[in-house]
Structure 1
Amino acid sequence: MRWLEVVFLMGALVAFHFAQMPSQKVVVVGSSDQLRSSILGAKPGTKILLKPGEYEGGLFFQNVKGEPNNPIVISALDPTNPPVIKGGGECLHFSKVAYLEIHNLVLTGARYNGLNIDDGGSFDTPSHHIVLRNLQVRDIGPTGNCDGIKLSGVTNFRVENCIVERWGDGGQGIDMVGCHNGIISNCTLRFEDDKGFGIQAKGGSSNIRIVRCRLEHAGARAIQLGGSTGLQFFRPPLKSGQEHAEARNLTVEGCTIIGSTGAIAFVGVDGAIVRFNTIYRPKRWAIRILQETREEGFVPCRNGVFTDNLIVFRSDEWAEGGVNIGPSTAPQTFTFARNWWFCLDKPEQSRPKLPVPEKDGVYGIDPKLRDPEKGDLSVLPDSPARKVGAHAFNEAKQQ
C-alpha cells in the first residue's frame, strides 16, 4: 500500500473515531438567569456547571432531552462547594425529560417539593434515563404533602448518594408514583419518627431496588412498599378486567433503619423482598401489612418476603409483637426466614408475632452491635449475627 493511501486511511479512521465520540459543550453559569437560559438551550451532550453560590428556585423546564451515551448534565463546578438552589414552589421541576443527569447540588427551602421530575401527565411517554447523584435536599414544606424528591412517571432511573432531610410533615423524602426500573442506592434520609414517610413506591410502580440506604427517624413509615394512590394517577393506567396492585417487584436490601413508627410497610403491594437489612429500635412495629386501596380489581397485599434481617428493639417501644396486620390483606402468603430478633431490655420477649411460622429464625441472642449509641450498627467480630443484617449484604451478594 502506498504511503498516501496509508495516510488517507489513517485520517479516515481518526475522523470515524471522533464521529463516534459524544459531542459535549461545557457551559459555566453563575446566576439564576444564566442557569435558566442554559438549560433551555441545552442539547445532547451539554454539561452545565454551576459556580458556588445561591440560585433562585422555582425553576421549571420541559423537554430537556439528551441521547444515549450523550446525556445533558447539570452539576456543580466545584463539588466540594456545591451551589444552593433555594426557594420557590419547587427548587427544580423537570417534565417530559430524557437522558438527564443532575449532580452535586443543594436544594432547600421550597414550599412544595425540592426536586420534581414527571411525565407531564402523558402516561404513555414517561420521562426516562434519569440520574440523580450527590444531591442534598432539605427543609421542604414544612407542612403538608411536600416531598424532598418527587418522581412521577419516570423509568430507568438511578438516585445515588443523596441526602434528604426534613421534608413536609405529610410528604415523603423520596416519593415514586408510577415509576419503573429504578434503583435508589446509598442515600441517607433524616427527619422525625412521626412526620411523613421516608421512601415510597406506589401508583403501579414496579422493578425498583432500594439498596444500602440509611434512614434515621425517616417518618412514620421509613420505607413504604406500595401505598394509596388516586386511580387516575396510576402509570400505566388501570385496565378493567385486570388485577391491580399499588406496586410490584420491589426490593429492599442492605439498608439500615433507625427509629420510625414502622420500619417497613407493605401496603397493597404484590411481591416485595426485604432482606439483609438492620432495623434498630422502631417505635412500634418492624413490619406493617396493610391494604389502603380497596377498589374493584385490586389484589390484597400479598407475597412479601422478609429474610436475613437483624431487628433490635425495646419492649416499651414494641406493639403487637412488632407486626401490624390490617384488614383485607393476605398475610398468609408472606415468607419469613433466618431473621434475627433481639429485645434489648427483655431478651426473653424477643420472639415476634408473625402471621406465619418463620424458618430458622433466631430469638433472644445478643447480636453484639458495635456502637449503636453513636450510630454504628455493624457487629463486632465475635458477633453470632454476622450473617444477617445490612453488614452481611455485600458478603451475601458474593455467594
Structure 2
Amino acid sequence: MTIRVLVSLETRGDFPILDQKTESGAQLVYLDNAATSQKPNQVVDAHMFYYKDYNSNVHRGVHYLSSKATDAYELSRRKVAAFVNATTDREIVFTRNASEAINLVANTWGTKHIKAGDEIILSVLEHHSNIVPWQLLAERTGCVLKFVELTKDTQELDMDQLRSLVNEKTRLITTAHVSNVTGGVAPVKEIIDLARGVGAKVLLDACQSLPHMKVDVQALGADWIVGSSHKMCGPTGIGFLWGRMDVLETMPPWMGGGEMIADVYLEKSTYAEPPSRFEAGTPAIAEAIALGEACDYLTKIGMDRIHDYEIEIGTYLYEKLSAVPGVTIYGPPPARGRASLCAFNVDGIHANDLCTLLDQAGIACRSGHHCTQPLHRYLDVPGSARASLYFYNLPSDVDAFIDALTSTIAFFAEFEE
C-alpha cells in the first residue's frame, strides 16, 4: 500500500515533543491522539505571548492591554466560527471543554423545554460526557432516555432501530459524530431528517470529527455541535459550543456572574445576548487565543488534505493490525468509513498489561474503557487498547507499533507454554 506522506513530513517538525526518547530509551511513537493531540509551535507560542506581551482581562477595560487582549480573544471567536462555517461568530460560545458545552445545553435548553414523558434518543457508544448530563436532566424532569444499539456485523449505529424509536415524544437526538472507540461515522443527514420529521433537535458530539475532517455546521444542519480544543492541536481548558442563533436565543443563562449580564439591580438582573449570556466570569483568555491559532494552523494545512491522508494511514493501521493473530478490532471496516483509530483486544491479554509493555517499547497507546463504559459492557469486554493517529503520524509509526505489539504478544505466549 502506497501512502502519500507529504502532509506528515511537512508538519512533523512543528511538534518537537515527538522527537524524544522515553524513560526506557526507546523512540517515542505517539498513538494516543484520540485522547489528546500534540500542539504545534505556533499554538504554544500564541499561548505564551498572551502572558508575556499583553496579559489583561477582556471586555472590562479601555486601556491598551485590555483592548489588545479583547481584540485577540474576539478574533479567536471569529476564527473558530470560520473553521466550522458558522453564519456568525455570535454562534460560538467558549466553554471549559466539550463536556461543559453539553452540560450547558442540558441545563439551559433542556431545563426550559424538556418535561416529564419527553424522550431523548442517544446511542450505546456515547462518551460519558454525552450520557451523564442527560441522565441528570432525566432525574430533574422525568424525561425518558432511549439508546440506539449497534449493527451486529459492522458495529455501526442501527438506523432501523433508530427509526423505530423516533416518535412524537422525541425532543432530542444526540450522538457522537465519530466514535472514539469504533471509529464509525454517524449518518448525520439521515439522523437530522428523522429528527426534523417530528420537530426534534439534534446535538452532535464533534470532538472526534473536528480535528480530522471538514465540519461545516451549515451543511450538517444540526442545532448544536460541541468541540474540544485539546483534541485539535489547541490547549486544554477550553472547548466550544456552536448553536444556531435562533436556538441559542431561546436558551436561558446557566451560570451567573460578570460578563453575562446587561444590567444588575439589587432586586433583579437582565442578561446579555448570546454568546455573552453563557460566558460568566473571566474566561480562559490565553487558551481561547491559542485555540484560534490552532484553527489557523489546521486551516493552512487543509482539512481535506488531513482527512485524505488519515483515510490512507488509518486503513494501513487497520490492515496491519487485522493481520496480527488473536486481535479483535471494534467498529466497521475501512470500506464502510471509519476514523484513523483502532480500539482492539488481544486474546488472553488484558489491555492494561498490553499497553504497559508497549510503553516499554516507546509506543504510547490508550487502555481502559475510554470514557465509554456502556459501550464496553455492550461489547462484553472490560476495556480495550486503542491506537489513534493524527496527520503528523508516519507509516513508520504504525510499523513500530505492530512490531512492538507482535513482540509483546510473543512475550505473553511464553508464559502459556
- TM-score, with length taken from structure 1: 0.23
Larger % of strand: which?
1
Higher helix proportion = 2
Greater RCO (Cα-Cα under 8 Å, separation 6 or more): 2
Larger Rg: 1
